[in-house]
Amino acid sequence: MTSAQSKLLGVLKRELEFLNSGGYHRPSWRPQFVFQDSPTCMNRDDPKDAKPCSECVLMPFVPAESRKSRVPCRQIPLNDQGNTIDDFYHWGTREELEDDLRAWLETQIRNLESKGTAAESYIAGSERQKQSSATAA
């Protein structure tokens, strides 16, 4: 397992733990947003010094056509129907979102732990793209 895969695995496990411990149900003046209001988001604690979402460890799960959106992590498909986090915000319930997010996280964790998976391919492709960009520069 590469260091990027290992890092991703750790992030996904922490996100699942956060979800299962009720992390998205903390009292707040506004609803808690999946990924953005969890320890997964690199901009959660210091939005004034925000890093570009393109540096997020979850970016490989965002479809290429959605990577330039304002909040790319909301475009991650969580189920076989292709429903995204953003879709659930528009027409789903919080419970449906959390159930599908939990299933998605468990699947990605299993995939990374067993190797030879789509998530691994995403990461490898992302690393190759970064390397070719760095070489071209």
Contacts of 119 (CB under 8 A, 6+ apart): 5, 8, 60, 61, 108, 111, 112
- Read off the pTM: 0.78
Whether 88 shows a pLDDT value over 90: the answer reads yes
Range of the domain at 28: 3-136
List 77's β-bridge partners, or say none. 84
> Taking Cα atoms as reference points, which of 54, 55, 40 lies closest to residue 101?
40
Alpha-carbon distance 108 to 90, whole Å?
Answer: 24
| Total count of domains within the chain | 1
| pLDDT tens column, 15-72 | 999 999 998 887 777 778 999 989 899 888 776 788 889 999 999 999 999 999 999 9
